[in-house]
Structure 1
Amino acid sequence: MAGPVVSLLLFLGAIGVALMYFTREDAAREREAMVRDTEYAQQRLRLRLLERQEQTMRLARDIANRTVEETAFVAQAENLVLQHPELTALYWVDAYREVVTGYGVPTLNRSTRRAGERLAPGLGGGVIELARDLHQPMYSKPQRSSDGGWVLLLAVPFENQRRFGGVVLAELALDALLRYGVPPELLARYTVTLVDDSDRVLAGDPLPPRPHGVWPLLPWGAQPQSHALALSPVGNSVLVRLHAVRGERDRTAEALFWLVGAMSAATLWMLVANLRHTRRRLQAQRALLAETNFRRAMENSMLTGMRALDMQGRITYVNRAFCDMTGWSEEELIGTTAPFPYWPETEHEQLMARLHDEISGRNTPGGFEVPVKRKNGSIFYARMYVSPLIDPQGRQTGWMTSMTDITEPRRIREELTASYDRFATVLDSLDEAISVAPLHSHELLFANRMYRNWFGDGSAGHERLLELCAAVPVLPAQDVNDHVDHLVGLPADVLVEAVAEHAQIHVPELGKWLELRTRYLTWVDGRLVQMLIATDITARRLAEEQAQLQAERAATASRLITMGEMASSVAHELNQPLTAISNYANGLISRLRSGRADPEDMLVALEKTARQAQRAGSIIQRIRAFVKKSEPQLTLADVGQIVANAVELATIELKRHLVRLNVYQAERLPALMVDPILIEQVLINLLKNAGESIQCAQRPPGQRQVELTITPRRLDERAGIEFVVRDNGCGIPPEQLERIYDAFYSTKADGMGIGLKLCRSIIESHHGRLQARNLYNGSVVAGCEFSVWLPAAAASAPDADTRGALTLPTLG
């Protein structure tokens, strides 16, 4: 029966292949013709654009040669606009993007540009700027006009005394360019459109919708072809696309196709009906043989040994699995009575009593374990289940016994018991206290030796640890109003996979600091339990407190060192207001003694004396606060005030090196949640290093300058502020750039090596970043740039348990 079916399928395949081949040949020919027509249409549009470009360039040359004035330009522009429909406007634009004069097509929905109007920067994607920079005509990307159509802007630059004098700006309507530039014979055969690089229709009719259903799958229902080319000289922003207009379907070919398909389907249906009839007859023949072999095959394929006993205890049936387990054949077992050959000699009495219980009906529902001897003499353990054997008439004719080899499960159970003993021994030898208890229960499921040494055998210690842990926030604060557990509603398997929570608590009863880790587990009985692991961290806690104290002392020492280095400059800075106060006072004394004291002049002199005294006092107060500050405190600080305070102190040192400081600060900067004195310390250190680097490079006095730039910047999706200190000094040796943050490492001969290390520690403690890089002029190092990024107050607000205190890393 397979021969006719295969022949019919081959016949249908040959027809389908031939139909697809001829259809593809027609499509290829249509494709080639469309490519040629698209190139022809693109060439015609290109020539028309080049003609308008040449006319616009001629006007630009006349303006550059001063052979045309504004009135003549308007006349020529009006003549060109009226002659060429695609040219809708011509404007004379000067170097400052102001319209000198021009002419545009006056329509109802279109507005023209007036003389003196300033064009917006970046008009048409910056076409005027591109024409000015490249000194050649430039086309813009398609733009929406006031009447809703799409236009191109052509900017032709001209020079005025060898300088950029402006552009002649031409506005080309794409709809008119398509209508008058494409030959009518192409418009009759194709749907011609101008589209942009995102396939948006700029001019022409939109494409017809694609047909749905089965028609696109048939040869006469294939999709019409289309081809597109970039419109030169505009570029890829405007494409000329031709779309073939599909004619009516070939009804004759369609009818023949369906006729051949119907005849083939009828033939195939008859062959399949005959095949089904033959198959049903063969199935009926096989049913009897399958029914007779089914039960025997099922019995032989079972892995469980089956044994049947009659009412007197004689074996009447065993399956293949029972024989494979014991090693005795079916002929050797059927008909035998107790003691059976697979009974071990040492177990005859116990097995005989068990057999008597079986025959008497005293069976254990869960089965029982018995040793079984193989024919080769080896022993294995099996579990047996006994049930009455009932015949089709409902009478009991014996007992059915199933036997399963449990040697491997028994071995695994023994290994698990030994493994548990080893596991308990390992846990008892740990230095951590481990306890497991159900949720909301006083039952203690497990506790190792360290837990029992600390808290005893009861669950009081477990509950005490949970009570102390509840007073310490473990998870970050959430901006929600519902105070619920973050694991509420999750299934048990998700709770088991949850990340362990950590907390550091102090246990007064033990006099120890413990690091407590909690985790949810599914216990062996399926209950959800909580495991606590407590580690003694008293020594580490003391070390951290000593490290924090060391960092605070290092910060104070750095400020004292900085002020010691600036002592002479500070004295010089204070000398100016003190000298001015002395001069004003001596002048007043002289006038009073000579009797030439004018109240107005004395008032002015006293006001100046007061200002100089305030200046000297502010310098002393700033230095005193800078040196005295020791305990870091986070406050909501204003960036401008921080910069002003740092610049006031750093300028004293920079003036000593004849370095000019330029500060560029953006407006409306967000506030920072920082310690202002520490941030001022970082900025002063960076500015002082910049001045010393310029002094090291021996720059001339006119070239000694340091720039401090403060701008907002986003980093890792977080808002923040970036401080950039840029100098033109000797820079940092490239091989030492990675080590400048190491403690006690310095690139200066007299440096201590703690300045940049302390600066980086301060910035990182505020969750910020400090980076350094060299500035190059070619291959020569021309300076250095340090950038400090700090998160804004909204993004850097500390948690509730750390607000108001800041921990600095150690220098080691």
Structure 2
Amino acid sequence: MATGNSLQVKLYEAFKRMPSIRRFIGSRLVYTPLMAIVIFLVVMAIILGTLQVQERQQQEGSLFRELSLVKQRIQLRFINNSEALQSFSRDLAQTQNDRAGRDKVLAQIESFVLGNPEILQLIWLNDNEWRQWMVPPPARNHEWFDIVPQATDIDRELKKALFLSRETNRPAYSQVISITVPKDDPIMSERQSVFWEVISIFKDGEATGALAVMYSSQGILQYIIPPELKSQHRYSLIGKDNRVLAISSDRDTPTRSLSNETSLDFGALGPNIMLRVDTYPPPTDLTFRMLLGVVIGLSAFVVWSLWSVLKQMQVRQLTEANLRTESSFRRVLEDSMPVGIRAHDMEKRITYVNRSFSEMTGWAQEELLGLKPPFPFWPAELHEELMQKMAGALEGNAKNGIEGTIQRKNGTRIATRTFIAPLINDKGQQTGWVTSVIDISEPKKIREELSATQERFVTVLEGLDAAVSVVSIETGELLFANRYYRERFGDTAKGHIDLTGHEMDPSSIFHFEGDNVDALAGLPASALKQSNEIESEEIQLRGDTTHWYEVRRRYISWVDGHLAQLLIATDITLRKNTEELARQQEERMQFTSRLTTMGEMASSLAHELNQPLSAISNYCMGIAKRLSSTQNPLSNELVPALEKASDQAHRAGTIISRIRSFVKRSEPQSKLCSIGDIIADSVGLVEIEANRHRLKIISEIAPDIPQVELDPVLIQQVLVNLLKNSLDSLREVYPLSSRWSAPPVKISADLETSTFPSMLRIRVTDAGAGIAESVLNRMFEPFFSTKSDGMGMGLNICRSIIESHHGRLWAKNHMDTEHTRLVGCTFTILLPLESNQITKASIGNSNEHEQSTENNPG
């Protein structure tokens, strides 16, 4: 085998020493016949193509001449017909009153129609467009064009042509009309597409009628074109939108047939019709085909002969190529490898390096051969370390290679991994070592970047205010959990399973051998991973009524390729609480709106009832005076009753006036007022409700109280609210059957002299259930209420009103003698006696909340 290889190398070297002129001549001798045959084929193709083009040009010229001839025949026929019809129209105009002459003209018209079979119908119309005479005559008072589906289109086109002819005093044509006819009716087949020609009849300059001629498109091709032309070509009439109106023959034309078309010029008022001609396949040209066959046969024989010669040349060229490949394969293989290779002898000298190693280090092959360690491409500070690694690798202690650093000739450094293997000769003896060096700078850089990216990503996940966890679908193991998850749910998958509604309960997980099966549902894992939509739901864990979580989850492929579930849980407790608070505030605002409406209704009702009550009082007093002035014995009995009725009506009017003044909305007004009058009006408003619940209200006013500057409506609102709260507290303690023993609600007003200067003190005291300690600390907060139908704004508004008057409002419970239970409560109001400079702005702020009076804890 070695002898054969050396012989091939010698033959190849001898061939390389041959003069280049011999190779040039040899290549030319091989390709000269091929070039000759190619030139021959090109010349023959040009000749045959030229003949084909000339023959096609002759056919096109002949086709154009025949098309022009047919066009002239059709136009000449129409011109002759138009002249004849114009002559008939003049004769009819002259013989209008001559019956014998008119019959003679009609006979000539009938002969004219019979001599022109392309005319389907001729109609003589009078000046009212009525049919006076027609040929062929109508059958049973009906004509075929009156009963076809397109009869309306036919009549409309006739009227258009008649109008144009009268206006222009020239023959006018209609557009082509397509008619639906039965396929098996040979007579109606000529009537598939028709059009009108109208010639107006004028006498003394006035239109007295018209001659209308209906042409058949099929008849034009059938009766005007000579049969010898139709046997050679196919003629067609084409209308608008390339619609075929008529065709001379149903015989198909070849796909590469010649065709030409021209417009049939009927004048400015004529239809838009194109005449088209297509050629039929010509008879077989036997001479041309024989010549073509001979040329192709000779060419094939020459090509076969040349192919035989080329076959022998290919064998020779293949042998030469094998010699060149065999000699250059080893060197090309070594130089094309991206891995640097170097060989060492038993003394660790470098005996061989490939081109990749030289490019990697920047040192030429000649500069590296014969060098011993430490090598110049080792960094100086790493000589000892690399010497130890190399010694260990030569002893076989580095099967996975050793990492090192190479310093290039220009001073730059790259990270490498070196693999060392013993070099064994053909006798099985070790003659040295072979090392392969791989540049790992870029992969190492990528690994470092990936590590840094992973560290940043984990840092971001750890800093999220949401629980992020990943659980294996197959085993139920917690694969990842961030800090938030571990703080809330621990280091197990229990929190993840609870958040998914036990959808991934480990007790329901089945283990399968296939990696592409979802153990939970028995579906392929790819079916779950195809959807990129993340499911989102709001849940509250069982046993935890204080926290709400928004849970989003989806299926992902874990780093090991197995299917896992990613879950992100965000604490939305604050948002849920805010939504609930907003809902409660909305309900309270709706309740406030209803109370406002009720106040407006109460004001309107008070206004409407005040007048009838005044009338009742007046009538009663009038009747009492009349009875007093008479000597009627019943006067002594009726007058007192009428006076009591008048008093009650007056009392009802007073109560209604108080209600009206209380609910009436007006601008805040501060003035000097008597606190006794304000308390009396307040008691009068609440006393009705107290009597209805069998409760009492008493008032105690000190005699030395001066008038105070304040807003009476706002202070009255505060007192009414406090009195109603006291009545509600008594109703809770005393049921309806025992309210006869309930102590009354007491409202008092006096001076507080313990302060300087002295202040007006108003106290509302009841013997109810008192106020719980937890409620007492929050009772003045907005929207805080212990009543199911309350808004929690009453006491807040009351305190705002009192503070706007520079006063104070507070509550104090009363205990029994043993101090074991609450036995009532007292609300105390302190108002300054001096001018307190109540501004409209400060009172207006309180008046904005003047919407609720029975929504206070109590």
Q: What is the TM-score when the length of structure 1 is the normalising length?
A: 0.50
Larger radius of gyration: 2
Q: What is the TM-score when the length of structure 2 is the normalising length?
A: 0.48
